Amino acid sequence: MSFASLNLIPELLRAVEDQGYTEPSPIQAKAIPPILERRDIMGCAQTGTGKTAGFTLPLLQLLAPNASSSPSPARHPVRALVLTPTRELAAQVEEAVRAYGKYLPLRTAVVYGGIDIKPQIKALHAGVEIVVATPGRLLDHLQQKSINLSRVEILVLDEADRMLDMGFMPDIKRILAVLPPTRQNLLFSATFSDEIKRLADQFMHSPTMIEVARRNAPAELVSHLVYEVPAVRKHALLAHLVRSRDMQQVLVFVRMKRDANRLARLLEQDGLAATAIHSDRTQGERMQALEEFKQGKMKLLVATDIAARGLDIDQLPFVINYELPHTPEDYVHRIGRTGRAGTPGEAISLVCPDEMEYLASIEKLLKRQIPRATAPGFEREDRDQRRTGAHEQPREHRGRDAGRPPREREHREKPHAPRAPAAPAAVTGHGHFDFSKPYEPAVKDTTAPAPEHTPAAHRRKLTRPTAALLGPRPKPEE
Ligand code: AMP
């Protein structure tokens, strides 16, 4: 099977060739023909399957015949709308649209919250055929009348299940209400829950169902490993694993955004280059963190589930679950960040006794037991330690030794005079990081958004209780 056999136009074939793709992925082979026939489709596919090109290529082809090279904005109405749950995914989809559409005179714009709305308004006023948007900011544009969706021919809901999880249903309904009733609808979702089916029933017309296995099924390319470790030793074990295995690029998952910041800070204090990505960070900060991680400037990227959705990081070798997610599906999403594009990946989970039930439900979903590993010095918290708190490292053991097993530390430290305590903020007298204290950045945050950059969702909260773009529902991340 080749891209040419899918009847793609030469401009798209050239763009695909430039990307270095030799053959369509299964979702592309299945989705492109019915989309070109202008059918509605429901695609069950996760990130990593090539679904973006699966809908972007035929979408561009359908719009191409009426593409205009006229500079007049009136000749460039919005004809395709792609909705995504997160800013990162919106940015990635727009990048894909630009890459695949580079030989076509079609214009594209991306619209999401957390950044100044004015340049977006300017871009929309200039006229664009394809708009990639997160729902909240798109509604702001509709309210301000900076976008006209009356000529939309194709609607794409990307990662629809995530949008629903994040509480975007009311926003999606508002957007559907302003679209022309006759249009093509494409919906992509990693799962087809009853809620997704209900949503589809509301606006799709006898959709073609397309289902593909993950391009890299977790079972094939990702090896799973569990370290059973007391909660208080997790950070030290994480640092130890990174050092002892010389890990160069690790995506670390925590459940709550405040812990993402704190863990990143803690790792930095230990001398490991780490940064955090979560929904409270400005768009600029998130993009910068991601870029630094991709370029290898940061070894560790600490992320929450929401912030990591849709992240496309080529050849990410390690995902470490610092905390297990509370739903096994999120585990599958998390580990889907590694083992991509045919390269093997490793998913390591640090599991404390309180999390054993989550581990059990993950193993049930995977239909197998995850192998257990032990790291000398981190196996378990013995009773005496628990009573006296002796397991917590003394302050002078913090800094670059925090990740080393106790014995190795002792061996290294004996000949030396004790070092001065690092005494970082929010570290308790026992040297154990205190997650209950407010996080205070060491450096003043000069990139905080100016008032006019205030995320749209936060402003909207005042007027309507719909999903917020940056912190949609407090549950998963708060
Ligand atoms: P997606 O699932 O759309 O996020 O795509 C995952 C990754 O696969 C992206 O990095 C794409 O650039 C890449 N990709 C998409 N289609 C192909 C293909 N036909 N051959 C090789 N790589 C692809």
Mean pLDDT of 336-356: 82
Is residue 359 a part of any domain in this protein?
Answer: yes
Is residue 450 a part of any domain in this protein?
Answer: no
- Predicted local distance difference test score (pLDDT) of residue 213: 61
Shared domain for 197 and 298, answered yes or no, is no
CB of 471 shorter than 6 A to ligand 1: no
Is residue 427 a part of any domain in this protein?
Answer: no
Q: What percent of the chain has pLDDT over 70?
A: 75
- Confidence grade of residue 340 (pLDDT, cut at 50, 70, 90): low
- Predicted local distance difference test score (pLDDT) of residue 310: 60
Distance 197 CA to ligand 1 centre (A): 26
Instruction: Tell me the CATH number at 15.
Output: 3.40.50.300
Is residue 415 a part of any domain in this protein?
Answer: no
Shared domain for 388 and 307, answered yes or no, is yes
Among 353, 380, 406, residue at a domain's last position: 406
Shared domain for 199 and 53, answered yes or no, is yes
Half-sphere CA count of 124, side-chain side, radius 13 A: 25
- Confidence grade of residue 314 (pLDDT, cut at 50, 70, 90): low
User: Angle, to 10 degrees, between the axis of helix 87-100 and the axis of helix 51-63?
Assistant: 50
CB of 49 shorter than 6 A to ligand 1: yes
- Predicted local distance difference test score (pLDDT) of residue 176: 95
Pocket-testing residue among 2, 17, 18, 25, ligand 1, by greatest number of atoms within 8 A of Cβ: 25
Shared domain for 43 and 66, answered yes or no, is yes
Distance 135 CA to ligand 1 centre (A): 24
Q: In what order do the strands lie in the sheet with 208-211?
A: 108-111, 130-133, 80-83, 154-157, 184-189, 41-44, 208-211
Shared domain for 248 and 161, answered yes or no, is no
The CA distance from 275 to 288, in Å, is 10
Q: Whose CA is nearest to atom 17 of ligand 1?
A: 50
User: Under a CB-based contact definition with an 8 Å cutoff, are residues 17 and 44 in contact?
Assistant: no
Shared domain for 146 and 292, answered yes or no, is no
Residue 250 has pLDDT above 90, yes or no: yes
CB of 338 shorter than 6 A to ligand 1: no
Distance 446 CA to ligand 1 centre (A): 36
Task: Give 448's contacts (C-beta < 8 A, 6+ positions apart).
Answer: 282
- Predicted local distance difference test score (pLDDT) of residue 69: 86
Shared domain for 183 and 281, answered yes or no, is no
Among 211, 233, 264, residue at a domain's last position: 211
Q: Whose CA is nearest to atom 14 of ligand 1?
A: 50
More confident residue, 194 or 394: 194
Distance 465 CA to ligand 1 centre (A): 37
Shared domain for 207 and 248, answered yes or no, is no
Q: What is the pLDDT of residues 109-136, one digit of tens each?
A: 999 998 999 999 999 999 999 999 999 9
Q: Indicate the SS3 state at residue 358.
A: helix
The single residue listed with the structure tokens 């005496």 is 384
Among 374, 406, 438, residue at a domain's last position: 406
Q: How many domains does the chain have?
A: 2
- Confidence grade of residue 83 (pLDDT, cut at 50, 70, 90): very high
Is residue 103 a part of any domain in this protein?
Answer: yes
Pocket-testing residue among 19, 51, 97, 159, ligand 1, by greatest number of atoms within 8 A of Cβ: 19
Q: What percent of the chain has pLDDT over 90?
A: 49
Shared domain for 241 and 303, answered yes or no, is yes
Q: What is the pLDDT of residues 179-223, one digit of tens each?
A: 999 999 999 998 778 888 888 998 999 999 998 765 444 446 778
Is residue 470 a part of any domain in this protein?
Answer: no
The CA distance from 87 to 83, in Å, is 10
Shared domain for 56 and 76, answered yes or no, is yes
- In 3D space, the residue among 69, 83, 74 whose CA is nearest the CA of residue 156 turns out to be 83
Is residue 432 a part of any domain in this protein?
Answer: no
- Predicted local distance difference test score (pLDDT) of residue 367: 79
Q: Is the dihedral of CA 408, 300, 471, 200 positive or negative?
A: negative
More confident residue, 118 or 412: 118
CB of 107 shorter than 6 A to ligand 1: no
Q: Whose CA is nearest to atom 13 of ligand 1?
A: 50
The whole domain housing 233 covers: 222-406
Shared domain for 205 and 227, answered yes or no, is no
Mean pLDDT of 398-419: 35
- Confidence grade of residue 84 (pLDDT, cut at 50, 70, 90): very high
- Predicted local distance difference test score (pLDDT) of residue 390: 33
For residue 226, what are its two tokens? 């569990």
Is residue 428 a part of any domain in this protein?
Answer: no
Shared domain for 121 and 238, answered yes or no, is no
- In 3D space, the residue among 25, 24, 368 whose CA is nearest the CA of residue 222 turns out to be 368
